[in-house]
Amino acid sequence: MLKFLSRKNQRRHSDEKKVDFANFPPQQKIACPNLRLLSMHIPKTAGTSFYQILQQAYGRNGVMRLDYRPALGQFIVKGKSYNSKNLPARVCALHGHLNYKVISAYLELNEEIKIITWLRNPIERVISNYYYLLERLDDRFKVDPLHPYTLDRMTKSLLEFAKSNQEKNRLFKYFRGTDLGSFYFVGIIENFDEDIMELGKRLDWKTVKPVKQNVTLKKPSAVSAEVYEAIKSMNHKDWNIYQQALAMRKARKKNHD
C-alpha cells in the first residue's frame, strides 16, 4: 500500500485546507442563450486536449470551461464559484465536468444544442486517474482546496483507490438519466485523432491542429492482470457502456464508408 503522509501531517494539512462551504450559495439555473455545443467531459478522457481544439474551432472567447463540484454543490470557473444567471453572450461552446443530472437540472438548453462526450476504456481511465492525481501532490502535499477529498483518496493503493465509490462505475453515474443514443457524438479516446476529424467534418470546422495535454507521466507501462481484472469487475456497468460506444462507432463508420 502506498502511504504518503503520517496521520499527524494529514490532520495538520486538513486543518490548513478546510473549505468554507457557507461561502457557496445554492446553485441556480443558468441560461445559455447562444450555446450551440456542450461537451460533457468525464475525467481522464483527453479533456484538456479537446478543450484546446474547441478553442481553435470557436475562438478562445467562444469557449467556456465550466465544472460542477458535487462536494460544493456549485459550478466552478477558474477556481471560483460561478453564480451568474447567464452564460456570457459570446460563449457558443461549453466544456467541463458536467454529468447529465446536473445538465438537465441547472442548464437551460434549447433543443438544437449538440451534446457530445468522449469515452475511453474504463479500466484504463481509473488507472490513469489514480496516477494523474499522484502527480498533483507535490513535496509539500498541497491539494486544491476545491478537491477536499483528494488527499484521503491518494493515501491508498491503486486497488483501494479503484474501490472508492467515487471511482466505481463513474461513466454510469455521468450518464444516469439518459443514454448514449441521445448524444450528437460519442468519441473514443483510443481513436482520438480519427474521431476528431470526423467530428470536425460534421460541424464544419476549419483546420484544427491535434494537441495533447495533461498526459499522465507516472503511469506504469502495465499493471498486473489480477489488478486489471479486479478493477474491471468493479466497473462492469462502465464496461457495458464502453462496449455500447464501440458498437455505435463501428456502425457509424460502416454507414459512412
2 within domain boundaries: no
124 within domain boundaries: yes
103-154 per-position pLDDT tens digit:
999 999 998 999 999 999 999 999 999 988 887 764 445 555 555 555 555 5
Distance CA 217, CA 141 (A): 18
Q: Residue 16 has what pLDDT?
A: 40
Is the CB of residue 246 less than 8 Å from the CB of residue 188? yes
End-to-end Cα, the chain, rounded Å = 49
For 163, the grid coordinates are 474501490
Rounded to the nearest 10 degrees, how much is the dihedral formed by the CA atoms of 141, 147, 153, 154?
A: -30
Which structural domain range is residue 76 located in?
7-256
Higher pLDDT, 215 or 48: 48
Average pLDDT for residues 41-51, to the nearest whole number? 94
Distance CA 151, CA 172 (A): 24
Domain count for the chain? 1
Q: What is the CATH number of the domain that holds 87?
A: 3.40.50
1 within domain boundaries: no
Average pLDDT score over the chain: 84
The number of residues in the chain equals 257
146 within domain boundaries: yes
99 within domain boundaries: yes
Q: Quick check: helix, strand or coil at residue 200?
A: helix
Q: Predicted confidence band at 208 (pLDDT cuts at 50, 70, 90)?
A: confident
Q: Quick check: helix, strand or coil at residue 186?
A: strand
Is the CB of residue 109 less than 8 Å from the CB of residue 77? no
Q: Predicted confidence band at 200 (pLDDT cuts at 50, 70, 90)?
A: very high
34 within domain boundaries: yes
225 within domain boundaries: yes
183: CB partners within 8 A, 6+ apart: 115, 116, 117
Identify which of 27, 178, 208 has the alpha carbon closest to the alpha carbon of residue 115: 178
Q: Residue 236 has what pLDDT?
A: 97
What are the C-alpha distances in Å from 127 to residues 137, 157, 212, 239?
Answer: 16, 11, 18, 14
Q: Torsions phi, psi of 175, nearest 5?
A: -95, 0
Identify which of 62, 80, 74, 64 has the alpha carbon closest to the alpha carbon of residue 106: 74
β partners of residue 68? 75
143 within domain boundaries: yes
